[in-house]
């Protein structure tokens, strides 16, 4: 299982939201680009970046910050995956042109699933499905609205359209450090055929091992690394031990 460190950005700074609530934000002093580079040097093959401002309003005011983060990570040998507010093919193209290897589409996929075949035809495996769910139903637009479709149904449709990977987040777990929704991720991977990256809630190494034992493709770790609960090196080792 791949361990993927995550950096969420709002107003150009590293932050974390509790359960996707913009009113419950924790800010960190860490420099976004320096953090991305440090994760790559520590052994990350892929760094996950989320533009929280864009996720909410579709804007791109953090574009320069994300480009700097991508350049810093790539200079140290890591690939970059970017999500947040990618609601058009041109927006996807922009983040790929800025150095991302993969672009995560959530709202676009949920609100316009008919667009997925064209996205795959244009960008191939670089398109990753973002499945953020609250009570099993996909949440969109910065998790502030419901798409009215279940994660499983959208996952199946995306796989049929040729999408290969998905990032799955149970919103209730995100930022809590109480553990990710391992069972939900496992079921999603088994029932859709997508390679699932589990996100949201990892707080200790036992959570990393549980995701690895479930056979998931990857597991994202965010807040726990920023707060020094364990190192990335320890998380990579835990994934291999499981």
Q: Report, as residue numbers or ranges, the catalytic residues.
A: 8, 132
Q: What is the DSSP string of 179-216?
A: ---HHHHHHHHHHH--EEEEES---SHHHHHHHHHTT-
Determine the Cα–Cα distance for residues 22 and 7; give it in Å rounded to an integer: 16
Determine the Cα–Cα distance for residues 141 and 121; give it in Å rounded to an integer: 25
Pairing of strands 79-83, 102-105: parallel
**Beta carbons of 24 and 17 less than 8 angstroms apart:** yes
- Biggest CA-to-CA distance, the chain: 42
* SS3 at position 222: coil
Determine the Cα–Cα distance for residues 92 and 72; give it in Å rounded to an integer: 20
Tokens 């707060």 locate to 227
| Beta carbons within 10 angstroms of residue 59's beta carbon | 12
């Amino acid at each position: 299982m791949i361990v993927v460190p995550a950096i969420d950005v709002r107003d150009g700074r590293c932050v974390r939201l509790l359960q996707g609530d913009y009113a419950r934000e924790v800010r960190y002093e860490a420099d976004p680009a320096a953090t991305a580079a440090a994760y790559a040097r520590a052994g990350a093959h892929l760094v996950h970046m989320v533009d929280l401002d864009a996720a909410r309003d579709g804007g791109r005011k953090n574009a320069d910050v994300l480009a700097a983060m991508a350049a810093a990570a790539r200079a140290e040998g890591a690939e970059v995956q970017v999500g947040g507010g990618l609601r058009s093919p041109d927006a996807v193209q922009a983040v790929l042109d800025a150095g991302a290897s993969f672009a995560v589409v959530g709202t676009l996929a949920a609100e316009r699933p008919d667009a997925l075949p064209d996205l795959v035809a244009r960008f191939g495996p670089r398109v990753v499905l973002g499945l953020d769910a609250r009570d099993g139903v996909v949440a969109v637009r910065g998790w502030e609205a419901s798409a009215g479709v279940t994660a499983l149904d959208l996952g199946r449709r995306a796989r049929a359209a040729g999408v290969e990977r998905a990032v799955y987040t149970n919103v209730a777990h995100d930022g809590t450090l109480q553990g990710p929704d391992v069972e939900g991720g496992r079921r999603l991977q088994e029932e859709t055929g997508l390679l699932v990256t589990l996100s949201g809630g990892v707080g200790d190494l036992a959570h990393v091992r549980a995701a690895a034992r479930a056979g998931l493709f990857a597991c994202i770790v965010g807040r726990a690394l920023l707060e020094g609960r364990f190192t990335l090196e320890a998380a990579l080792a835990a994934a291999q031990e499981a």
